[in-house]
Amino acid sequence: MGLLTILKKMKQKEREMRLLMLGLDNAGKTTILKKFNGEDVSTISPTLGFNIKTLEHRGFKLNIWDVGGQKSLRSYWRNYFESTDGLVWVVDSADRLRLEDCRQELSSLLQEEMLAGATLLVFANKQDLPGALSKEAIKEALALDQIKSHHWCIIGCSAVTGENLLAGVDWLLEDIAARIFTTD
């Protein structure tokens, strides 16, 4: 039995998933995580290292890792790739000036071998802002249509209002579950 098969078996027993949230600094990762978990979002500081949340959702045990996106922290992202089932890429839809940065960071992530099996959910966050780009515009700017290596999906959301956070996470869980718990 190979290592991955064993890990799969182990996870199958616990119905456990590991989700990794990444994105540029200020995208709203920590706010999404806390809002999703029903916590106060007004006290959130820029993330110096990372946060981990374990929560139950739809019968799954989710281990969610939220890693700081500040430039000087990005080289540490790879510390968290191991065993990732789902990658949540968070975008500040109103930050037009850094969309190119955002595209580059995502595209280099998708080339990482350790993330090869992961499902990708892109959250086009901050849709509550009047200047936010639509999820279609973000899809184009990030060239998502060119991704052939991963299952992916983009969802427009707002961490402040909570809009569509559930829809995004549910899609992600469904996709992962179909892959790791029912196949083989």
Partner 1 sequence: MDAAAEISQESGFTGESGAARIQERLQKRHQERIDDAERRKEAKESRSVAEEKGDYFFGTFNKERESIEDILSSCSGADRAVLTQKLEEATAKLLQLQKFLSDSTMFLKPYDLRQAQAALQKLQTSLTETREEGLPKKKFAFRTRTKAKDKSSAPEADTSPDAVTPAESGTSEVDGSAASVQCGISNMDNQCLTKTAEEIQKQDVLLSHLTNCKVHLFGAPSTLHLKHIDSCEILCGPVSSSVFIDQCKNSTLAFPCQQLRTHNTTDTQVYLHVTSRAIIEDCRGVSFAPFSWSYPTLEEDFAVSGLDQNLNNWSQVDDFNWLAAGTPSPNWTVIPEGDRRTSWDP
Ligand X SMILES: Nc1nc2c(ncn2[C@@H]2O[C@H](COP(=O)(O)OP(=O)(O)OP(=O)(O)O)[C@@H](O)[C@H]2O)c(=O)[nH]1
- Binding partner of residue 137 among ligand X, Mg ion, partner 1, none, CB under 5 to 8 Å per kind? partner 1
Report the binding-site residues for Mg(2+). Answer: 30, 47
Residue choice 47, 128, 153, 181 for contact with Mg ion (CB under 5 A): 47
- Active-site annotation holds for 111: no
> Is position 83 an interface residue for Mg ion (rule: CB under 5 A)?
no
Task: Provide the minimum distance between the beta carbon of 123 and ligand X in the complex, in angstroms, as a whole number.
Answer: 9
Sheet with 60-67, side-by-side order of all strands: 50-57, 60-67, 16-22, 86-92, 119-125, 152-156
Residue choice 37, 39, 55, 71 for contact with partner 1 (CB under 8 A): 71
> Is position 3 an interface residue for partner 1 (rule: CB under 8 A)?
yes
Task: Provide the minimum distance between the beta carbon of 28 and partner 1 in the complex, in angstroms, as a whole number.
Answer: 9
> Is position 46 an interface residue for partner 1 (rule: CB under 8 A)?
yes
Residue nearer to ligand X on the CB measure, 60 or 89: 89
Residue nearer to partner 1 on the CB measure, 11 or 60: 11
Q: Catalytic positions, please? A: 70
